[in-house]
Structure 1
């Protein structure tokens, strides 16, 4: 057997072994056994597959290292460059990623995914041309849902809600259960105070097992705004029990819903907790608590709560006026009430929200006192 034939046989055997190792590596990769797959890919000198496997393991540094090696030893395909570019983006190497996708979009100008990836890079770099790049990706391919979501989100952030709604509708026509488009729809409806739509959309997200604090908060507010007080209480109860039982805003809000349903003891309880936690303006909390005492006809505690509200914020005109009305409810001696109304007028003048009511009440009390005296 001559030397050339031996060389050919050795080469064929080596190729067969490499192909076999590569095939075994592919099988292991498909099963998620990436580390073992790498061993066989190394045997087969499959540099790009090694890079892909390291990426699957979450080892971005190693993946980049082998992609560079793969790109240096042969002319890289568009797919290899695309995968490398995405990895550069994930590794926050934005300048390199941008340069690569600029090249790719020039090489394949009608490829919407290349344009979309370029948009993602621009977005990360706070480049103002990110939006038109996403828009162009969608022009190239109307079925590109990722690009559609980006332009819908951008329109929402710019408060161009009509445009946002149009794109959101298109996204949901393709996939009615798309959580990202549903979340965007809910937020837009909530910001626009379309609380029925917001509630309906947040409910759809709950059915899809989507759960987070802003979602439950916005749903609770939407229920309150649409007079669905019991359902609002359920959401605030969930927030308090599962996320933070020391959140004063949630205690304050659940108290308002209990008050609306005339569960006054529960309302009082949560108002008092909100006051103790002290993270929200106390004057408003005391005003709200006073409202519950009034409904309970507990005028003494109503008066004391409003006195505390005024102490907390002497500039709260509503609290000072309500203090006068509370004194009116509590004191049997009407002469004792006049100074409270006069204090309100002296503090805020005679041309403010409740001034006419205050002046009329002073006049009525003085008239009553005059005739009673006579």
Structure 2
């Protein structure tokens, strides 16, 4: 009897050793990223943590359907397994299973309301479900639990930057920057909050800081250059626009503003070259470039060519009455025959007669003058 008992104990010991050995091997394989073999060894172990590790391995392999099934099995058998529930919730979000994720994170919050990550991820799910009020509420709860929760502060800052609510955006962004002053995402949003509010001189140092931190992407350099341009720091603007063009030689905005800087400095030929290049790289062509070329031709005292460019600009943006007003005034300079000029002004009235302001009154007065000139010329 004692012999049988000893054999039984020995068998249990051997089995435990085997399972322990399989778990150790599985953990080693998992640690070096050999997930398929790790799954095989975890399956040989009856240790409770093995099921969770199998789920993690499938997740790492990108086999999300199997990972979800394994996680769900763990959570069903051990509802108190909070870590497994958290990982499953993030996987629901990743696989766009938003309703399942909403239910799971709501359940996690009900059992542990103090965890800011749960509120943050519930906010992410509400964002994906296009429920902004609920998502904002979740992000705010996350920073109530942890005032330094950068991901939630970023989300709130981004939302209010897009809504152009500068002061509210800055409140959250500054709160995050107090924690991590060199967070490039928060600095970028702060720069945009000022930039979108036309406070280019205030936005400028934040874009400079982004470049110092290695964020020399095209869109950041373009905004930095524009801030220099708006601050009349043309040499710095030119230098940065040259960097933009080294990254993308079809950046129409860079060519356009280089042209405008030359125009402001009365360098008509250089201005014309850059504006023309801006037009060449654009599809479709925008009215602002043709309007700039027209202004260049006026400086060159070439009203006929300026008229052509204003007519082209008007074709691109027929809703802008001022463009056609310039067509009328230039036609007045180009043609010495009132019968040729009158149709331009009459077309202006037909198109924009319902507008109010000084321009329409000037046009109506000029129509009367032209009709009188035509009348007296026929006597």
- How does the TM-score come out when normalised to structure 2? 0.79
Instruction: State the number of aligned residues.
Output: 357
C-alpha separation between the residues in 2 aligned to 1:78 and 1:311? 63
Whether the 8 Å contact between 1:229 and 1:261 is mirrored in structure 2 is no
**CA displacement, residues 109-145 of structure 1 (integer Å, 9 cap, x when unaligned):** 2222222222222222123322112211211222322
Aligned counterpart, 1:4: 5
Aligned counterpart, 1:13: 14
Aligned counterpart, 2:94: 90
Matches within 5 A, 1:61-140: 61-74=65-78, 76-127=80-131, 128-140=133-145
Which blocks of at least 5 consecutive residues in structure 1 are unaligned?
A: 364-374
Aligned counterpart, 1:40: 41
Matches within 5 A, 1:124-163: 124-127=128-131, 128-163=133-168
C-alpha separation between the residues in 2 aligned to 1:70 and 1:140? 28
2:172 paired residue among 159, 167, 170: 167
Deviation at 1:172, TM superposition (A): 0.5
Deviation at 1:359, TM superposition (A): 7.1
Which blocks of at least 5 consecutive residues in structure 2 are unaligned?
A: 370-379
Residues 11-20 or 227-236, more deviating: 227-236
Residues 152-161 or 79-88, more deviating: 152-161
Deviation at 1:261, TM superposition (A): 4.0
C-alpha separation between the residues in 1 aligned to 2:171 and 2:340? 56
Seen in structure 2, the aligned counterparts of structure 1 residues 238 and 70 have a Cα distance that, compared at 3 Å, is same
C-alpha separation between the residues in 2 aligned to 1:227 and 1:167? 31
Deviation at 1:165, TM superposition (A): 0.7
Seen in structure 2, the aligned counterparts of structure 1 residues 304 and 18 have a Cα distance that, compared at 3 Å, is same
C-alpha separation between the residues in 1 aligned to 2:164 and 2:123? 21
**CA displacement, residues 282-315 of structure 1 (integer Å, 9 cap, x when unaligned):** 4x43331122233344555445434554676677
Q: What is the aligned-residue RMSD (CA, Å)?
A: 3.5
Whether the 8 Å contact between 2:164 and 2:197 is mirrored in structure 1 is no
C-alpha separation between the residues in 1 aligned to 2:247 and 2:329? 40
Aligned counterpart, 1:259: 263
Matches within 5 A, 1:120-269: 120-127=124-131, 128-243=133-248, 245=250, 248-269=252-273
Seen in structure 2, the aligned counterparts of structure 1 residues 200 and 71 have a Cα distance that, compared at 3 Å, is same
Seen in structure 2, the aligned counterparts of structure 1 residues 248 and 146 have a Cα distance that, compared at 3 Å, is closer
Residue 285 (1) aligns with residue 270 (2): no
Whether the 8 Å contact between 2:26 and 2:37 is mirrored in structure 1 is yes
Aligned counterpart, 2:30: 29
Deviation at 1:14, TM superposition (A): 2.1
C-alpha separation between the residues in 2 aligned to 1:105 and 1:10? 45
Whether the 8 Å contact between 1:268 and 1:289 is mirrored in structure 2 is yes
Whether the 8 Å contact between 1:223 and 1:229 is mirrored in structure 2 is yes
- How does the TM-score come out when normalised to structure 1? 0.80
Seen in structure 2, the aligned counterparts of structure 1 residues 355 and 65 have a Cα distance that, compared at 3 Å, is same
- SS of the equivalent of 1:83 reads helix
Deviation at 1:327, TM superposition (A): 6.8
Seen in structure 2, the aligned counterparts of structure 1 residues 217 and 343 have a Cα distance that, compared at 3 Å, is farther
